[in-house]
């Protein structure tokens, strides 16, 4: 049976301190929440400076492992490499970026979502991998393939390419009440990389059966 760990979403020093005092294992610095506390939509209007300021505030409250959601990575592979290094120096334990075209829209937004070409996204992973090599900061690749209703085979093809490109973990986004497609993915994935799930919309009884 695969171990399940929970990283709790935070967005400021108060929320981070609350998780720390409650015995949380780790933190997820949400791009959505960092944007929302500034009164901005989750469309990457908040820049790297805003995210760094939020990260530093959280780091004043806790030393728990902290993964940072940086949307699509601020555009180009080179932009992502610079951002990843800055976030690491500010205290990130992992940098997460997703395979949507910049500027992204929130997964739940009722708009047409466009994914990056696999080769270009792998280039981003490679840039981040080289920038963070030896630092202990994780490269976390997020795929929205299931979220945009790509076939399971296409999602697996993307995920395998991201693993080959050097990702340490895979975030599988799937905003639906049922985890049926997630379980199908995990069964075919065979544990090649640890998989991170975002349980934003899953039923509680589904979460307990997520591991295979």
Catalytically active residues are 42
3-state per-residue secondary structure call for the chain: CCCCCCEEEECCHHHHHHHHHCCCCEEEECHHHHHHCCCCCCCCCCCHHHHHHHHHHHHCCCCCCEEEECCCCCCCHHHHHHHHHHHHHCCCCEEEEECECCCCCCCCCCCCCCECCHHHHHHHHHHHHHHHCCCCCEEEEEECCCCCCCCHHHHHHHHHHHHHHCCCEEEECCCCCCCHHHHHHHHHHCCCCCEEECCCCCCHHHHCCCCC
User: The tokens of 79 are what?
Assistant: 């932009």
How many whole angstroms separate alpha carbon 23 and alpha carbon 189? Answer: 31
């Amino acid at each position: 049976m695969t171990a399940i760990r929970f990283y709790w979403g935070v967005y400021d020093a108060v929320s981070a301190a609350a998780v720390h005092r409650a015995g949380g294992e780790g933190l997820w610095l949400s791009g959505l929440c960092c944007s929302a506390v500034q009164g901005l939509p989750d469309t990457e209007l908040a820049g790297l400076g805003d995210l760094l300021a939020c990260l530093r505030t959280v780091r004043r409250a806790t030393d728990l492992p902290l993964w940072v959601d940086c949307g699509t990575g601020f555009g180009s592979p080179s932009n992502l490499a610079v951002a990843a290094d800055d976030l690491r120096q500010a205290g990130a334990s992992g940098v997460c970026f997703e395979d949507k075209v910049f500027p992204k829209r929130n997964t739940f937004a009722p708009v047409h979502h466009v994914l990056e070409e696999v080769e270009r996204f792998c280039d981003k992973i490679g840039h981040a991998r080289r920038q963070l090599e030896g630092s202990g900061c994780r490269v976390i690749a997020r795929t929205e393939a299931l979220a945009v209703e790509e076939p399971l085979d296409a999602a697996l093809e993307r995920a395998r390419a991201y693993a080959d490109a050097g990702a340490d973990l895979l975030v599988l986004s799937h905003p639906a009440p049922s985890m049926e497609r997630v379980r199908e993915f995990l069964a075919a994935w065979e544990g090649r990389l640890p998989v991170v799930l975002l349980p934003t919309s899953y039923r509680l009884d589904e979460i307990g059966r997520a591991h295979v």
